[in-house]
Structure 1
Amino acid sequence: MAIQPIDVKYTAVATAENGRDGRVASDDGQLDVVVNPPRAMGGSGAGTNPEQLFAAGYSACFQGALGVVARKEGADISGSTVTAEVGIGNTPDGGFGLTVSLRATIPNVDEATAKDLLEKAHQVCPYSNATRGNIEVTLQTA
Structure 2
Amino acid sequence: MKPIFTSYATADGGREGHVKSSDGLIDLNLVMPGGDSNETGSNPEQLFAAGYAACYDGALNLMAEKQNKDIDSKVTGAVSLLKDEQDNGFKIGVQLDVEVKGVSQEEAEELTTAAHQFCPYSKATRGNIDVTINTKAQ
Confirm or deny: 8 A CA contact 1:36 1:43 kept in the other structure: no
Using the aligned pairs only, state the percent identity: 47
After superposition, where does 1:125-140 map in structure 2 within 5 Å? Answer: 125-140=119-134
Q: Unmatched 5+ residue regions in structure 1?
A: 1-5
Q: Distance in 1 between matches of 2:76 and 2:2?
A: 29
Does the 8 Å contact 1:23/1:32 carry over to 2? Answer: yes
Aligned length: 134
Q: CA RMSD in A?
A: 1.2
2:26: which partner in 1?
31
| Partner in structure 2 of residue 86 of structure 1 | 79
Deviation at 1:30, TM superposition (A): 1.6
Q: In structure 1, what is the Cα distance between the partners aligned to 2:99 and 2:48?
A: 20
Q: CA deviation at 1:75?
A: 1.3
| 1:74 aligned partner, one-letter code | N
Is the Cα contact below 8 Å between 1:89 and 1:96 reproduced in 2?
A: yes
Within-5 A mapping of 1:22-101: 22-39=17-34, 42-44=35-37, 46-78=40-72, 80-92=73-85, 93-101=87-95
Deviations 1:58-93 (A, max 9, x none): 000000000110111111112x10111111111021
Moved over 2 A (4+): 42-45
Letter in 1 for 2:77: A
Displacement of 1:43 in angstroms is: 4.7
> Relative to structure 1, is the Cα distance of residues 43 and 85 closer, same or farther in structure 2, using a 3 angstrom cutoff?
farther
Is the Cα contact below 8 Å between 1:22 and 1:36 reproduced in 2? yes
* Cα distance, 1:124–1:38 mapped onto 2, change above 3 Å: same
Higher normalized strand content (fraction of residues): 2
Structure 1 residue 27: Cα displacement:
1.2
Q: Which residue does the alignment assign to 1:3?
A: none
Structure 2: how far apart are the matches of 1:107 and 1:66? Answer: 12
One-letter amino acid matched to 1:91: D
TM-score (structure 1 length as normaliser): 0.90
